[in-house]
Amino acid sequence: MDNTIRKSNMNKKILIGIGILAVIVSIFAWAPRMDDKAVYDKVVQHDSERVKIAENICGGQLEVSWIPFGRFVSNCEIGYFVTFWGKVI
């Protein structure tokens, strides 16, 4: 009986750990602190010449789209992925 209680407690701890891990991964995937303006500015700072040329050719600003673990910034010529920690790829 004592062994059954230990297994039950261990299972509860494992489920709580998995739940906490799922919440943390979800927050990183959502990346709530990244707004469109900040992401756009980061991409312009990273590669300003190509961004300006692409804006002139395509006739518009870059579009910012949400994707898991970051944002995707693109227009007709170029596309950049900005990770949730701020790296431009």
The model's pLDDT over 15-31, given as tens digits with 9 standing for 90+, comes to 999 999 999 988 888 77
pLDDT tier at 34, thresholds 50, 70, 90: confident
The residue with tokens 């790829």 is 89
What is the model's pLDDT at position 8?
81
Of 14 and 8, the structure prediction assigns the larger pLDDT to: 14
Q: In the beta sheet, which residues pair with residue 73?
A: 64, 80
> Is the whole-model pTM more than 0.95?
no
DSSP 21: H
pLDDT in tens, 44-71: 888 888 877 777 777 777 788 888 888 9
Query: Where are the domains positioned within the chain?
Result: 2-83
Q: Rounded to whole angstroms, what are the CA distances from 89 to 9, 53, 64?
A: 44, 18, 14
